[in-house]
Amino acid sequence: MLRALALQHLVWLSILFQLSLALPWHTNYALTVIKNVTQPQTFENIATRHNGQLLLTSTVSPKVYQVDPFRQRAMKAIVDIPHTAGLFGIAELEEDIFYVISANMTGVQGIPNSNFVWKFDVRDRRTERAPISPSIVANVSDAQLMNGMSRLAGNDTTSLLISDSQAGRIYKLDVSTGSHRTISDDDSLKSSPTGLQIGVNGIHVRGSHLFFTNFNKRIFGRIPISLSTGFPTGPVEVIVNGVQGDDFAVSADGKTAWIALNSQSTLLEVDISGKSARVVVESPYLESASSVSVGRTLFDRDSLYVSSAGPFNAVSGTNTTITGGIVARVDLPKVK
């Protein structure tokens, strides 16, 4: 959600400089562009369906797009969300039943009364061409800018956790009633007075920890939580500092995270227990890398998918041919 702001050359160079001091500079996992479209101009978040198809949102489009990584067919818009300029986090609670955040923004500020959560059921599609009708789950009128979303627990089909990047809070939403409450308002989720005002960004629960990025404070951290209430059961733990991360994925075993470093053309790999991070892909196609998902089929369980926009020419510090939305696959080395 940074495309409009984050490309200022000086900002970019200073980020690059600070990162290269903090982290070793490597590019060692193969990247393949699997989708490259002029519209929408950027992608924001990804969910992976059980059959391997990817569902993508964009901050500059009200549609949910489907991309099939195994077929070269055209991307399809499968859901059109009403009364919004853009979509953010997307999460699945039951097989093929997805929830998506809609919000309007100017710059990185949310527009009041524009934050909603919608539900759509991919099984509702009678034919491949028929659009799916979304239903409204919640009008979150006290939210400022809802952004990342995660289910609370694998055994819970009604609770979603949602980050508010502007307020610096995490909400728990009950999708059966539409009601929400704040489960954390910790200082580590907020922005400092300077820099781009995007605090807590991506959030994902793995085991009994809620992992998060704070873009402004350059933190990747975790909070132990109750899997029944969502409330913290202990203090926030910083895993790595100096990481200006957007959304991310955590491996099923909870040992590794891959973070999209938006505006830094970079995918970062974090060794969670080792509390260390390294750059694994640096590519102009990841100029606006915004989220990461892990393949769910036998054929791509060692692959990551990254949503972005690009390409930005990192060498000259300028735009080359702007292709718009990018979906890239990154292949992890096979464990021998």
Ligand X SMILES: *[C@@H]1O[C@H](CO)[C@@H](O)[C@H](O)[C@H]1NC(C)=O
Q: Which is nearer to ligand X, 77 or 153 (CB)?
A: 153
Cβ nearer to ligand X, comparing 59 with 213: 59
Cβ proximity to ligand X: between 240 and 314 the closer is 314
User: b or e along 103-132 (b: 16 or more beta carbons within 10 Å of the residue's beta carbon)?
Assistant: bbbeebebeeebbbbbebbbeebeeeeeeb
> Among residues 77 and 85, whose Cβ is nearest to ligand X?
85
Contacts 24+ apart (CB under 8 A), 235-238: 236/186, 236/188, 238/188
CB 113, min distance to ligand X, A:
5
Query: Which amino acid is it at 107?
Result: G
| Residue 72 main-chain phi, psi, to 5 deg | -85, 15
CB nearest ligand X: which residue? 228
Nearer to ligand X, 61 or 216 (CB): 61
Nearer Cβ to ligand X (192/319): 319
Name the token pair of 252: 């099923």
Nearer to ligand X, 183 or 189 (CB): 183
Part of the chain binding ligand X (CB under 6 A), chosen from 50-58, 125-133, 217-225, 314-322: 314-322
Q: DSSP secondary-structure letter at 49? A: -
> Does residue 174 interact with ligand X by CB under 6 A?
no
Look at the alpha carbons of 111, 114, 117, 119 in this order and tell me if their dihedral is positive or negative.
negative
The size of the interface with ligand X (CB under 6 A), counted in residues, is 22
Report the alpha-carbon distance of residue 70 to residue 53 in Å, rounded: 8
Pick from 133, 233, 318, 320 the residue near ligand X by CB under 6 A: 318
Nearest to 166 by CA among 189, 139, 183, 137: 189
Interface segment toward ligand X; rule CB under 6 A; list 51-59, 79-87, 121-129, 298-306: 79-87
- Residue 132 within binding range of ligand X, rule CB under 6 A: no
Q: Which of 57, 58, 84, 263 binds ligand X (CB under 6 A)?
A: 84
3-class secondary structure, 110: strand
Question: Distance of alpha carbon 9 from its chain centroid, rounded?
Answer: 24
Q: Kindly indicate which of the ranges 15-23, 68-76, 148-156, 184-192 contains the residues binding ligand X, using the contact rule CB under 6 A.
A: 148-156
Least Cα distance to 61 among 37, 44, 49 occurs for 44
Here's the x/- map for ligand X, 272-311, by CB under 6 A: it reads as ----------------------------------------
The alpha-carbon radius of gyration of the chain (Å, integer) is 18
Out of 20, 51, 228, 320, point to the residue binding ligand X (CB under 6 A).
228
Distance CA 175, CA 120 (A): 12
> Is residue 323 at the binding interface for ligand X, with CB under 6 A as the rule?
yes
CB of 324 to ligand X, least distance (A): 9
Q: 96 vs 156, which CB is nearer to ligand X?
A: 156
Compute CA distances 214 → 101, 124, 198, 221, whole Å. 19, 36, 7, 8
Q: Rounded to whole angstroms, what are the CA distances from 234 to 153, 224, 271?
A: 18, 6, 21
Least gap, CB of 141 to ligand X (angstroms): 4
* Strand duo 76-80 + 61-67: pairing: antiparallel
- Determine, following the binding rule CB under 6 A, whether residue 227 of this chain makes contact with ligand X: yes
Q: Does 114 bind ligand X (CB under 6 A)?
A: yes
Please classify residue 74 by burial: count the beta carbons closer than 10 Å to its beta carbon, then call 0-12 exposed, 13-18 middle and 19+ buried. Answer: exposed
212 forms bridges with which residues in the sheet? 203, 221
Give the binding range for ligand X (CB under 6 A) out of 52-60, 106-114, 245-253, 299-307: 106-114
Which part of the chain contacts ligand X (CB under 6 A), choosing from 110-118, 174-182, 260-268, 298-306?
Answer: 110-118
Do the Cβ atoms of 328 and 302 come closer than 8 Å? no
Q: Which is nearer to ligand X, 141 or 179 (CB)?
A: 141
Q: What are the residues binding ligand X (CB under 6 A)?
A: 7, 9, 33, 36, 83-85, 104, 111, 113-114, 139, 141, 153, 155-156, 227-228, 318-319, 322-323
